Amino acid sequence: MTVTTRALFDMLKRRYPPWKVLSTVAKDNPGFGMVAKDTSGGGLTMDYGVEYSVPTRAATFATAQTNSSRTRNARFQLDFADDYGVVQIEQKLLESGRRGEDALISALTSQTEGILTALKNSLGRAFFGNGSNQIGVVDVTLAAPVAGPVLQLESLDDVVHFDIGQTLVVAASTTAALRAGTLLVSGIDEILGRVTMTGNLNAGIAAIADGDVIFTQGDYVSAADRLAYTGLDGWIPNAVDFAATPTLFGFNRSVNRTGLAGYAFNDTTYPGYSEEEAVQLLARFIGRGGGTLNCAFMSHERLTRLVNAVGSKEEFVKTVPVKNMPKSEAELGYDGIRIRTPSGLVECYADRNCPNGTIYAGDMAQLKMISIGQCPHWITDPGGGSTGRTMESAAAQEMRLTAWPQLAIRRPRSWGRFDWA
């Protein structure tokens, strides 16, 4: 008996209902998992008000009346990113009847888990990005010259963004055009942070150079592309990036740098600062500005240093509810530690996607992930049926997952960052 496309899609939805799709993607991604979700997004763009100034007042009524003003909100025109994944099942399995049932379920599970992992990596990484889909930076060394097949990454932690069989492209920066050519990954060394290609680097991309930014092919196409959703690096930029590109979603934030782009500090101005001192500094400035700081994200290495510095007696687990998750399922939880600051207790989390040289901290209540439908979700036709289709290039059926998200920060001055060189 042949399994129909509709039956296959129904099987997928039963094994991977919306709550399981979301919880699978949110697992191991504290930033993405903890941010509030709003599935009411729609249209190609969406107006979003970002507060950056409050009304004026006076000690006398007449003056207050004369100088009256309003709360100022910048109008950001949010767009929605595209992130797609497909599940492909060979037609041979679908027509194998009962004898192929176990193989079909195994293939279905393997393919779905694989594409959900890919989406988990993409959506989690974007939470700390600037929308460019950057996955690493080229570090040309004597051990990894451009005339050889080994690509050394500037940050060893970025090696987790690479997979065997992945096609790569590079550009001089996240605002430059792509260099001609591609590279194909054939090996990965997660200890040394090296990625091996099928040929020499300069054979695949003749002009590749030290400091070039690396992308997966298709994730960055034209100069200054922002095909991923804009994460914390875009909303809360460092001083150099803000000076170069102060405009975000069509609004020039130079009118109020802190109000519209948050606080940015670094170890040049504050040399020798530890992780705890960085969080304390951000808490002091955000609190002074009338904001609340209750959460901080950093790499595993930096959280380890923080734990060693302040002790582990404030460890805890933060549970995050997932809509429609059955009570029989374990809750989604993230381990963290709390530290005391002038602004109160701050929950600190290690996120594998947070750059090792940066700590982001702020008020989680000001963040929202707005998306068109759940992020991610199975694509269905307008009638709620299957969109599984027969592939033209292979004897297989194809089911699709998509995410159309955008991160929004209502009050950027309630967030900040500290960078180490």
| 274-290 pLDDT per residue, tens | 999 999 999 999 999 99
Query: What was the pLDDT predicted at 152?
Result: 97
Report the pLDDT averaged over residues 362-381.
Answer: 92
Fold of 24-54+72-130+228-421: phage-related protein like fold (3.90.1690)
Q: What's the pLDDT score for residue 189? A: 97
Q: At residue 39, does pLDDT exceed 90? A: yes
The pLDDT of residue 13 is 79
The domain locations on the chain are 24-54+72-130+228-421, 136-216
What is the DSSP secondary structure assignment for residue 53, as one 8-state letter?
E
Class of domain 136-216: mainly beta
Average pLDDT over every residue of 291-309? 95
Name the residue with higher pLDDT: 314 or 221. Answer: 221
- Burial (Cβ within 10 Å: 0-12, 13-18, ≥19) of residue 181: middle
3-class secondary structure per residue, 56-77: CCCCCHHHHHHCCCCCEEEEEE
pTM recorded for the entire structure: 0.91
Residue type, 23: S
pLDDT at 236 over 50: yes
The CA–CA distances, whole Å, from 172 to 100, 156, 167, 202 equal: 50, 20, 18, 14
Per-residue b or e along 322-351, where b marks 16 or more CB atoms closer than 10 Å to that residue's CB: beebeeeeeebebebbbbebebeebbbbbb
Write the pLDDT tens digit of every residue in 152-200: 999 999 999 999 999 999 999 999 999 999 999 999 999 999 999 999 9
Residue 320 CB neighbours (<10 A): 14
* 94 confidence band (pLDDT: 50, 70, 90): low
Which of 105-119, 294-308, 323-337 is predicted with the least confidence, judged by mean pLDDT? 323-337
Answer yes or no: same fold for 24-54+72-130+228-421 and 136-216: no
Q: Is the pLDDT of residue 1 over 50?
A: no
The span from the first CA to the last CA of the chain, in angstroms, equals 62
